[in-house]
Structures are given as C-alpha cells and as structure tokens.
Amino acid sequence: MSSTQVVLPRILQVGADASQQLPDVLASLDCRRPLIITDKMMVQLGYVASIQKVLEGQDIQSDVFSDTVPEPTVSSIMAGVTMAREGNYDSIVALGGGSPIDSAKAISILARHGGEMRDYKFPRIVNEAGLPVVAIPTTAGTGSEVTRVTIITDETCDEKMLSVGVGFMPVAALVDYKLTLSVPPRTTADTGIDALTHAMEAYVSKKASLYSDTQALEAMRLIAPNLRRVYHDGSDEQAREQMMLGSTLAGVAFSNASVALVHGMSRPIGAMFHVPHGLSNAMLLPAVTEYSIPAASERYADCARAMGIADAADSDDAANEKLLQELKALNEELKVPTPAEFGIEKDHFFKVVEQMAEQALASGSPGNNPRVPSAEEIVEIYRKLW
C-alpha cells in the first residue's frame, strides 16, 4: 500500500453561471490585472466581450490575446509569451476549449521562467509556479481546467510534446455548463468521447488509486448516458450540466492517475495528420479496449457497469462484450469517421506507423496501460484501424 498525492485547483466554481463569478475569484486570489488568453471563435461568439464586461463591472481592466490555435504549436504561443512578459499582468484567464487552456498554461510558465517549450517536456517535472491561471472551459471536454498537463506540438518535427507538473495546474477553474450550450454537435461529440476516454483510461491505469477510481467511475456515470443526448440536442441543459461535471471529474481522475494507451497512440495521429484530439481518441478507443481487456477484465467490466450498459447480473466477460459493442455503436451514432473517411492516405499512414509507435512509447502513457504493448503491438493496433 502507498499513499497518493492529489493535486487540484485551489478554487473550483461549479454550475450555472459559474463564469460570472470571475471578478470575485480573481479578488480572492489577490489578482487585479488579468490577461485573457483565448481564440478567435470565442471573440466572434461574444464570450470574450461578455467576460470583459463582467470584469469592468468590478473595475478590473483586462487585455486579450486571441491568437491561440487548435492543437497549439510552439510558434502559435510565442506572441502570447511576449505579451504576457511585457505587460504588467498578475494573472491569466484561459477561456475556451482545451487548446486555449493548454496554450495559456504553457504561456504562464514561459512568460515567467523563459527558455523553450521543449525544455519543459516530460520526463522533466515542472513544479515552478507560472502566472496564476484561472481556467474557464467552454467544452466538456478535455478536463484541462483541472489537470497538471499541457500538450504543445513542435511543428518542426510533428511531435506532440507532453509537459507535466504542478506548475501547469490552474489555480482556479470556473466550470459553467451554460458556456457549452452553443457548442456544435461535432465538437460536442469529439470532446465528449475524449472525456469518456479520460475516465476509462484513469480507471484502468496502473497508476489508479481509490481516489482516482471514485472520480473516474462517477465521471462515467455522468458522461455515458448523456453523450448521445447532447450530440442530438445541444440545448438539453440537464444533459449539458452532467456532461460538464463528468468531464471535470474525468480530468481530475486522469490528472491524478494518468492516461494510458489510447492517448499515447492518439497524440502521434493528431500531430501527423491533424486529426482533432477527441476524434483520434474515438478512432482508437474500441481497438485499444479490445487489446487491453484480457489484462484487466474486471476493471473494464466495472466501466461497462458504471456506464449503465451492463449490470451486476452480467459476468465480466458479458459486460466486456457489451462494452466493446457500445464503444463501436457510439462511434457510429456520433459519426466518428475512420482514418480513411477523415481523408488520411493509407500509404502515408503505413509509412509512418513505426515512427508513431516510437512517439507513443516515448510519451510514457502506454506504460500505464493494464496491458503494456511492444512497439510491434502498437504498430499492429494502428494497422487494425484500416
């Protein structure tokens, strides 16, 4: 037996209109000069103006850096680093999906400590404090608002660099499901499957603990019955609220238990072929689950039961059969494309599978999987996607 260290944001504001509490939250952190880090879509949708208005109501002046990009790259964050360094900011408000929040975490560290993003790549553990980040997620989701992880792509070699440490944990997260009501179905599905994957991977991870298990199981209970609902009707408030909390709990689970083989294999696909993170996870989830079940059959059966697709009367084998069926059915209903349908060229994919397998192993995530694959086995699973 050993103990587990749990790391969380200092403040979690959860529920309807949580984002409106930003001025009070900043005040309680003794911050009064925030830089808002976001993307163009958040500006267009009026989210940034509305946050700035809430801040102005309490006499808080803010500036905006809105040039973050999906699947952020090293070059995409550098202008933000310069802005954060040269202004007299005492905090960062990260507003958006996983990409703006991941960008903000990296900017927070680089602005205060200098160097290059590569210097902060895993296995280095980043414990130094950056500018305090208050995260306001607008998808349910990446869970980035409660994780000590950021992922920045080195575009010169198409590598998704995983960076880990308490330095990347936001000091506060405002988890407001109302911000997700207008998220379109495709993004809703991709981010929702990402959250489900976080919960499942945290639960089967070799680093799982009683603490992370409770978060992961509850996340699955919240996410699984609501994923189809929010995909088909984005305005379903009850389903959106449960998805949002589920996504945050899944983030807590995997931040404290780590992700595993799906994420390890997903990052190289994303980096090489520019597949959105949740989509590449969804493409891999059924095949990786099938590969992993023999090593953790009870754990996967627990997942099936938490997701409500099997019950106590089902044997573990029966529950796992249902789990595989459900993951395939979910991809079909949520219209997850195959790599071919996404537009990836088979020849190109097969030419880089060995390189992707190497990157997957180097990230460390496959080592947390209940069944730890060799490079050859990873190549095999990649090939199976076709």
DSSP 75-123: HHHHHHHHHHHHS--SEEEEEESHHHHHHHHHHHHHHHH-S-GGGG-TT
- Give the nearest distance from C-beta 152 to Fe ion in angstroms: 14
- Give the nearest distance from C-beta 5 to Fe ion in angstroms: 21
Q: Give the interface segment with Fe ion, choosing from 152-160, 186-194, 310-318, 348-356 (CB under 5 A).
A: 186-194
Q: Rounded to a whole number, what is the largest CA-CA distance in the chain?
A: 62
Q: Give the interface segment with Fe ion, choosing from 153-161, 174-182, 189-197, 361-369 (CB under 5 A).
A: 189-197
Contact between 177 and 222 under an 8 Å Cβ cutoff? The reply is no
Q: With respect to Fe ion, which residue has the nearer C-beta, 71 or 194?
A: 194
- Give the nearest distance from C-beta 174 to Fe ion in angstroms: 20
Count of residues making up the chain: 386
Q: With respect to Fe ion, which residue has the nearer C-beta, 66 or 191?
A: 191
- Give the nearest distance from C-beta 263 to Fe ion in angstroms: 6
Residue 198 and residue 250: Cα distance in Å, rounded?
Answer: 6
Long-range contacts of range 335-339, CB-CB < 8 Å, 24 or more positions apart? 335/186, 335/189, 336/189, 336/193, 336/279, 336/282, 336/283, 337/279, 337/283, 338/283, 338/385, 338/386, 339/269, 339/273, 339/275, 339/283, 339/385, 339/386
- Give the nearest distance from C-beta 262 to Fe ion in angstroms: 8
Q: With respect to Fe ion, which residue has the nearer C-beta, 192 or 370?
A: 192
- Of 39, 158, 176, 194, the residue at the interface with Fe ion (CB under 5 A) is 194
Q: With respect to Fe ion, which residue has the nearer C-beta, 52 or 368?
A: 368
Q: Give the interface segment with Fe ion, choosing from 33-41, 150-158, 191-199, 298-306 (CB under 5 A).
A: 191-199
Q: With respect to Fe ion, which residue has the nearer C-beta, 222 or 301?
A: 222
Phi, psi of 279 (to 5 degrees): -65, -45
- Give the nearest distance from C-beta 201 to Fe ion in angstroms: 8
- Give the nearest distance from C-beta 194 to Fe ion in angstroms: 4
Q: With respect to Fe ion, which residue has the nearer C-beta, 194 or 241?
A: 194
Q: Give the interface segment with Fe ion, choosing from 1-9, 45-53, 121-129, 190-198 (CB under 5 A).
A: 190-198
Q: With respect to Fe ion, which residue has the nearer C-beta, 144 or 209?
A: 144
Segments of the chain assigned E as strands: 11-14, 34-37, 63-65, 91-96, 133-137, 149-154, 159-164, 172-175
When asked if residue 71 is in the footprint of Fe ion (CB under 5 A), the reply is no
Q: Give the interface segment with Fe ion, choosing from 10-18, 78-86, 188-196, 205-213 (CB under 5 A).
A: 188-196
Helices within 274-345 (DSSP H only): 277-292, 297-306, 316-333, 339-342
Tell me the Ramachandran region of residue 70: left when phi exceeds 0, alpha when psi lies from -120 to 50, beta otherwise: beta
Binding site for Fe ion (CB under 5 A): 194
